[in-house]
Amino acid sequence: MNPPEAPPIILASASPRRKELLEDAGYSFSVVPASVEEIEDPSQSGLELTQANARLKAESVANLHPGSVVLGADTLVALDGKTLGKPASEEEAFEMVRTLSGRTHQVHTAVCLIRHRDGQRVEYVETTRVTFKALSDKEIQDYHLLMNPLDKAGAYAAQEHGDLILSSWTGSWTNVVGLPMEKLPEALSRFA
């Protein structure tokens, strides 16, 4: 399914998952990864952090390309009021998935679309509830041998062997992958 008439966009992310989702949906876009240090503030909720980081990424690229529509996005996993970003080590990745095992968590993705030339900005957040299977330590180790957990929020990728770890989800599947696509056409229509 091709998107409705949408302006060309700049994806302010090096995420191969976001790139693939946009390509699969037929969008015309270029990639200019944001070169920013993400905000990690434990006093902020997962929703607040994703919004702040999506805005930060979009702003940094929009400053360099004021006439373009820039898409910044940020995804975090939240469990019991705590956020799980990208793990710093294999050990931290293992502990993250062990903590998620047999439980339901939230995946928050914030999207910020900006065009500086005319001051337009559209933001939205999508939340999906994801339930993990109860996993043994060996199942977690075997899963991590199949994929790189270090560049993924929560140390897992639903689209990479997700059947081994996921029990169910409620909400947007593309949100769990990294970019909630369902609301994007309407958001981009505001930039026509």
Digits of tens for pLDDT over the chain (192 positions)?
Answer: 345 566 789 999 999 999 999 999 999 999 999 999 888 887 888 888 899 999 999 999 999 999 999 999 999 899 998 888 889 999 999 999 999 999 999 999 999 999 999 999 999 999 999 999 999 999 999 999 999 998 888 999 888 898 999 999 999 999 999 899 999 999 999 997
Beta strand segments in the chain, E: 9-11, 29-31, 69-79, 82-84, 104-115, 120-132, 166-170
Q: What pLDDT shows up at residue 65?
A: 95
**Cα–Cα distance list, 137 to 8, 36, 91, 140 (Å):** 45, 35, 12, 5
Q: What pLDDT shows up at residue 2?
A: 41
Q: What pLDDT shows up at residue 175?
A: 94
CA atoms 107, 59, 38, 20: torsion sign: positive
Contact 61, 40 (CB under 8 A): no
Q: What pLDDT shows up at residue 83?
A: 87
Q: What pLDDT shows up at residue 51?
A: 95
Task: State pTM to two decimals.
Answer: 0.88
Q: What pLDDT shows up at residue 6?
A: 67
Q: What pLDDT shows up at residue 159?
A: 86
Q: What pLDDT shows up at residue 158?
A: 87
State both tokens at 106.
Answer: 């939230």
List CB contacts of 172: < 8 A, sequence separation 6 or more: 126, 128, 180, 181, 182
In the chain the domains, ranked by start, together with CATH numbers, are: 9-189 (3.90.950.10)
In this structure, the chain runs to a length of 192
- 101 sits in the region (left: phi over 0; alpha: psi -120 to 50; else beta) called beta
Q: Which of 41, 74, 80, 163 is catalytic?
A: 74
State yes or no: is 137 an active-site residue: no
Q: What pLDDT shows up at residue 4?
A: 53
State both tokens at 167.
Answer: 């029990």
3-state secondary structure of 120: strand
